[in-house]
């Protein structure tokens, strides 16, 4: 907007509306529309070639979505990649974990778009990451994209991997570097839509070819809870930032194989399955100066801290940050048995919604410790 009298007046009204709102100032919602209507604006069908106008002398137009991306188009569909475009603006909509600033900031961090971190964020650190590949026995369809059972299995795999990696990172004093995680189905707000009818894609986006997708963390966990608990972590886009020290950015990632105890003794770094923190210290002793270590199977990596007090602290941390969000979708109008395979239905629950429809939900618990 230009700094004209009309535009300044429009923004003044918008500012007042936002601060009178009961919602978060970050959740701007319909306040621009309300600002135009307070000035006498109205809605009507436009004639061919007519320029849209709102109240207070403000012209309203439709921006091309490929260049002015909403959150789903950028973070989930990633239309800019296959269209080979550099977006002009990205709006952090279609996020979960509430409408506050933290989950929106996290989405930008995941995409490498959050550029206002302080110098400490890029200080030299040692990192721990893990192989986020979903095991083949969890892929229930071929191809797996769009298969709900596969997607639900993948979420369980990701949760178990994150728990194991958090434990090893804590035991070694390293910062967790979250890898790319794959999802095979999209997500809707509170499950209030039939995602099955649109082939496991957000309704309205079924024409896109974006499954499987790079799964945002807020599709199954709360980034806000991680920040509040002070968990040190980064996303995989961190290594693509030029502000990261070159010694870290260009370093070779050392892979540590997680193997059954009876198979220890091969070449290369190894960690026994169901390790204690003492096992971790032994396995990492020669890797003190290695910037990035990757666990081959974080799901099976860790059992417990031998110090009871430290173990209790870690379990409390898991209760704080590993609170998985249920995956839900409505099944209207035919009912969930029509849309969801019988074997997948048995892994979740069907509940009534809106009085006349059904909703399928799969609940997740905090992943248990893995002891061998």
What is the DSSP annotation of 286-338? GGTT-SEEEES-GGGSEEE-SSHHHHHHHHHHHHHH--PPPEEEE-TTT-HHH
- Residue 22 placed within a domain: no
List, in order, residues 6 or more apart from 236 with CB less than 8 Å away: 129, 177, 178, 179, 180
Rounded to two decimals, the pTM is 0.86
Query: Which CATH number does the domain housing residue 173 bear?
Result: 3.40.50
Q: Treating both helix axes as pointing N-terminal to C-terminal, what angle do 277-284 and 148-172 enclose, rounded to 10 degrees?
A: 80
Contact in structure between 171 and 283 (CB atoms under 8 Å): no
| Number of domains comprising the chain | 1
Please give the pLDDT value at position 4: 47
Integer Cα distance of 72 and 362 in angstroms: 22
- Residue 83 placed within a domain: no
- Residue 244 placed within a domain: yes
- Residue 367 placed within a domain: no
- Residue 214 placed within a domain: yes
Residue ranges making up the domain that contains 180: 125-362
pLDDT interval class at 14 (50, 70, 90): low
Please give the pLDDT value at position 55: 52
- Residue 204 placed within a domain: yes
Which of residues 77 and 60 earns the better pLDDT score? 77
List, in order, residues 6 or more apart from 95 with CB less than 8 Å away: 71, 75, 103, 104, 107, 216, 218
Helices (H), the chain: 5-20, 31-38, 71, 79-82, 101-110, 148-172, 223-229, 246-249, 277-284, 308-321, 336-339, 342-345
pLDDT interval class at 44 (50, 70, 90): low
Chain mean pLDDT for the chain: 88
- Residue 196 placed within a domain: yes
DSSP 365: P
- Residue 210 placed within a domain: yes
């Amino acid at each position: 907007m230009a700094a004209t009298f009309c535009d300044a007046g429009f923004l003044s009204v918008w500012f007042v509306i936002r601060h009178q709102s009961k919602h978060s100032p970050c959740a701007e919602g319909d306040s621009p529309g309300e600002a135009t209507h307070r000035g006498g604006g109205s809605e009507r069908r436009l004639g061919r070639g007519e320029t849209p106008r709102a109240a207070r002398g403000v012209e309203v137009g439709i921006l091309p979505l490929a260049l002015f991306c909403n959150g789903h188009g950028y973070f989930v569909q990633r239309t800019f990649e296959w269209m080979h475009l550099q977006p002009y603006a990205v709006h952090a909509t279609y996020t979960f974990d509430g409408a506050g600033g933290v989950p929106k900031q996290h989405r930008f961090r995941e995409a490498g778009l959050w550029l206002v971190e302080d110098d400490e964020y890029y200080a030299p650190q040692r990192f721990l990451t893990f192989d986020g590949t979903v095991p083949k026995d969890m892929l229930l369809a071929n191809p797996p994209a769009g298969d709900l059972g596969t997607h639900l299995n993948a979420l369980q795999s990701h949760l178990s991997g994150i728990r194991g990696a958090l434990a090893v990172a804590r035991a070694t004093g390293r910062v967790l570097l979250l890898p790319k995680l794959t999802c095979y189905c999209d997500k809707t707000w509170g499950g209030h839509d039939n995602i099955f009818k649109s082939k496991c894609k957000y309704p309205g986006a079924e024409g896109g070819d974006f499954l499987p997708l790079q799964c945002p963390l807020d599709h199954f966990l709360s980034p806000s809870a991680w920040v509040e608990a002070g968990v040190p972590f980064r996303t995989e886009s961190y290594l693509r930032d030029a502000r990261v020290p070159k010694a870290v950015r260009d370093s070779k990632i050392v892979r540590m194989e997680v193997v059954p105890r009876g198979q220890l003794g091969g070449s290369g770094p190894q960690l026994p399955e169901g390790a204690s923190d003492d096992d971790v210290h032994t396995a990492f002793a020669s890797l003190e100066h290695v910037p990035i270590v990757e666990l081959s199977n974080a799901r099976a990596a860790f059992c417990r801290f031998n110090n009871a007090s430290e173990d209790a602290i870690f379990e409390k941390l898991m209760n704080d940050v590993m609170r998985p969000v249920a995956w839900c979708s409505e099944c209207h109008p035919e009912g969930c048995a029509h849309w969801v395979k019988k074997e997948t239905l048995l892994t979740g629950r069907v509940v009534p919604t809106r009085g006349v429809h059904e909703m399928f939900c799969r609940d997740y618990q905090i992943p248990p410790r893995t002891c061998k």
